[in-house]
Structure 1
Amino acid sequence: MLNALWTPATVGAMSLPHRLVMAPMTRDRSTPEGVPTELNAEYYAQRASHALIITEGTQPSSDGQGYLLTPGIHDDGQIAGWRKVTDAVHAADGRIVIQLMHTGRISHPDNTPHGRLPVAPSAVRPQGVMFTASGPQEMPAPRALSTPEVAATVDDFRRAAAAAVAAGADGVEIHGANGYLVHQFLSDSTNRRTDRYGGSIGNRIRFAVEVTAAVADEIGADRTGLRISPGNPYNDIAESDTAELYPALVRALGPLGLAYLHVMHLGDDALLGELRALWPTTLILNRAGADLPVRAGDIAKGTADLVSVGTLALANPDLVERLRSDAPLNTPDPATFYGGGEGGYTDYPFHTA
């Protein structure tokens, strides 16, 4: 069944040697200024045999930062840091897109360079705590973006996409999932606006469509992807109209001709089937928790064009080679997922025959 993984694919402007993608994973190992380091370059280059690397979430602006030690792509130092990463991946014959992640309300002032309140569609405080340099703290109620500020935030994504390409990335993925800003606009639990960005489904998808269109206009639709996670309650978000919302979003995005749609799938097979039928280009599927034969089966059945994996790629820099040779896999160490140095990051062993 794994044979379905190993056929080449064309995704937008990218020619890929096979169909196993490295999913985006926050690792919290950039500098306090959001600059990727030589260690980050080594980590990604180690995993360059994946068909495509989608990087960890990267803030498109200072307001977009939610977590400690996450990278940015909105100033010259960050661009130079990302250039080290992309050069290393390309030298290893890999392909890499930078994921643009504005965390919105999932943040704390202590984790940002300016110390301001988080921004969001509406002033709805998320339940839960955020880890900061002084320890866990409850996340505050965010400040609702004004209508002009929403347009300015769209421009932040546009500029960040241009910066990502300037840093050598093969494209960008917009993070529209997991309870972060784009998802917050989609959800009726976090979007309580009364302007043209709130209320109806057509209004709530507007921000996602405007961001995606702006990025596609800036760097080319064939270098632009979007990630969604229908029905995902992560980061204290809820959706009452998933079955109507996501088909509407996909219909609105389809004419843009994006490189791909990346779907984090949590079990609604009917909705997944509808999105698959509606989407006109490549669909990358992340079937959370499924084993590899099931994921490969999604390709064989036409449910997906490519599949992405997270912790398997994290723990096995040579995952592709291990799977091809039926070699044993390393076990991920959750204690080292976030923060730290090379331990649990670049020191997972490669397989030796």
Structure 2
Amino acid sequence: MTTSLFQPIQLGNISLNNRIVMPPMTRSRASQPGDLANDMMTTYYAQRATAGLIVSEGTQISSMGKGYAWTPGIYTPEQITGWKKVTDAVHAKGGAIFAQLWHVGRVTHPDNIGGQQPVSSSAIQAENVKVFIDNGTSEPGFVAAVKPREMTVTEIAQVVEQYRRAALNAIEAGFDGIELHAANGYLINQFIDSEANNRTDEYGGSLGNRLRFLDEVVAAMVDAIGSERVGVRLAPLTTLNGTVDANPIDTYTAAAALLNSHNIVYLHIAEVDWDDAPDTPVSFKKALREAYQGVLIYAGRYNAEKAEQAIDAGLADMIGFGRPYVANPDLASRIQNGYPLAEHIAETLFGGDEQGLTDYPVYQVEVNDDF
């Protein structure tokens, strides 16, 4: 029986029932054409509404922001309508849901963006990075990401506006707020990390310059929908999709302080989560806690015991459980009651139909009818 995870918490203007987060997980089941959230996705999210907070899978802010086949968007009226079904269903179950807003930058292929060349902070290819495209079958076809071109300052301003518009669209679609995806090697991360950004203008070079794009995007979204509805996800120590920073602790402590100045409602830290990955240093977590005073969420390799310890130690306020939420729609109940967790089927993570998405059952308590 856990206790700290099931204490209520205030997130901006929303009262959450527990401190368990279903973090964003790409599942690639949006309807085509149009990259639309659909009834299948509506069922999937509603099944998991007992999480304190759901953060949606990444939803691209423009056609150029799409990195993988069959991911949903949030920039057309039809996409907004599709997501409205999802948010209505989650709210009907008493849940709360934020939309993760996503632009992948260089982590894509022309087949996913209408034949165009990807854009990034710089014309640097993400080495050994694969994305998947629609190859005419129901199975994702993995291909290498291609070399991007460097964005112009005018294009940067246009993308800032796309983020602002997407935040407004998310509120129109019924989301309780948005999470800016600034992690895992995607576009904003490509500006932040020193080894992915070789610009010589006001968006490159110094740490302040590399954080400028993040600063402008967050400022635009806060202005549009209010700081109490804006969260941000960072991945300080990961090198996913080829982004590496020379001094990540300094860089991301500064990023946390910057986000604190915008008074965003939460900061979501994605920790390295492969099996033999090193733990995030406690000293770094304490530095992040000092730099950012809002709700702190961590995700990556947590079980109930580790989650409780992080909250009790004051290092985190909420904990995300990613892959466990794939196969356990009733994860909160399973954690609270000590029920065993089901394992997900890896082959059904991306693409396909209801199998591996909505067909995982809730835990059934065996009743002994013997007298």
TM range (shorter): over 0.9
Alignment partner, residue 91 of structure 2? 90
- The answer to whether structure 1 residue 79 and structure 2 residue 85 are counterparts is no
What SS does the aligned partner of 1:116 have? coil
- Residues 104 and 187, structure 2, Cα contact 8 Å, conserved in 1: yes
Alignment partner, residue 11 of structure 1? 11
Q: How high is the TM-score relative to the length of structure 2?
A: 0.93
Deviation at residue 328 of structure 1 after TM alignment: 1.9
Alignment partner, residue 168 of structure 2? 162
Q: How does 1:246-285 map to 2 (within 5 A)?
A: 246-266=252-272, 267-269=279-281, 270-285=283-298
Give the residue type in structure 2 aligned to 1:339.
G
Q: How high is the TM-score relative to the length of structure 1?
A: 0.97
Alignment partner, residue 181 of structure 2? 175
C-alpha distance in structure 2 between counterparts of 1:325 and 1:253, whole Å: 36
C-alpha distance in structure 1 between counterparts of 2:237 and 2:312, whole Å: 25
Alignment partner, residue 56 of structure 2? 55
C-alpha distance in structure 2 between counterparts of 1:145 and 1:54, whole Å: 29
Task: Name the Cα RMSD after superposition.
Answer: 1.1
Give the residue type in structure 1 aligned to 2:285.
L
Alignment partner, residue 40 of structure 1? 41
Give the residue type in structure 1 aligned to 2:361.
P
C-alpha distance in structure 2 between counterparts of 1:340 and 1:49, whole Å: 25
- Residues 36 and 82, structure 1, Cα contact 8 Å, conserved in 2: yes
- Residues 283 and 304, structure 1, Cα contact 8 Å, conserved in 2: yes
C-alpha distance in structure 2 between counterparts of 1:265 and 1:235, whole Å: 15
- The answer to whether structure 1 residue 199 and structure 2 residue 243 are counterparts is no
What SS does the aligned partner of 2:88 have? helix
Deviation at residue 331 of structure 1 after TM alignment: 1.1
Alignment partner, residue 67 of structure 2? 66
What SS does the aligned partner of 1:226 have? strand
Give the residue type in structure 2 aligned to 1:91.
A
- Residues 304 and 335, structure 2, Cα contact 8 Å, conserved in 1: no
Alignment partner, residue 209 of structure 1? 215
C-alpha distance in structure 1 between counterparts of 2:227 and 2:318, whole Å: 18
What SS does the aligned partner of 2:195 have? coil
CA deviation digits over 1:59-107, x for unaligned, max 9? Answer: 0111100100000000001000000000010111110000001100000
What SS does the aligned partner of 2:83 have? helix
CA deviation digits over 1:196-224, x for unaligned, max 9? Answer: 00000000001111111111110110000
Give the residue type in structure 1 aligned to 2:354.
E
- The answer to whether structure 1 residue 332 and structure 2 residue 344 are counterparts is yes
- Residues 228 and 264, structure 2, Cα contact 8 Å, conserved in 1: yes
- Residues 265 and 272, structure 1, Cα contact 8 Å, conserved in 2: no
Deviation at residue 119 of structure 1 after TM alignment: 0.8
Deviation at residue 137 of structure 1 after TM alignment: 2.4
- The answer to whether structure 1 residue 137 and structure 2 residue 143 are counterparts is yes
CA deviation digits over 1:244-286, x for unaligned, max 9? Answer: 1111112222121111000112323222210011111110111
- The answer to whether structure 1 residue 225 and structure 2 residue 231 are counterparts is yes
Give the residue type in structure 1 aligned to 2:187.
L
Deviation at residue 138 of structure 1 after TM alignment: 2.1
Q: Which runs of 5+ in 2 are unaligned?
A: 136-140, 273-278, 366-371
Q: Percent identity?
A: 41
C-alpha distance in structure 1 between counterparts of 2:316 and 2:178, whole Å: 20
- The one of 302, 313, 323 equivalent to 1:301 is 313
C-alpha distance in structure 2 between counterparts of 1:117 and 1:295, whole Å: 42
Give the residue type in structure 2 aligned to 1:210.
E
Alignment partner, residue 318 of structure 1? 330
Alignment partner, residue 241 of structure 1? 247
- Residues 302 and 321, structure 2, Cα contact 8 Å, conserved in 1: no
What SS does the aligned partner of 2:58 have? strand
Alignment partner, residue 122 of structure 2? 122
What SS does the aligned partner of 2:81 have? helix
C-alpha distance in structure 1 between counterparts of 2:96 and 2:146, whole Å: 38
C-alpha distance in structure 2 between counterparts of 1:53 and 1:183, whole Å: 22
Q: Which runs of 5+ in 1 are unaligned?
A: none
C-alpha distance in structure 2 between counterparts of 1:231 and 1:294, whole Å: 19
C-alpha distance in structure 2 between counterparts of 1:173 and 1:42, whole Å: 21
What SS does the aligned partner of 2:285 have? helix
Deviation at residue 126 of structure 1 after TM alignment: 1.2
C-alpha distance in structure 1 between counterparts of 2:325 and 2:363, whole Å: 14
C-alpha distance in structure 2 between counterparts of 1:43 and 1:129, whole Å: 27
Deviation at residue 130 of structure 1 after TM alignment: 2.2
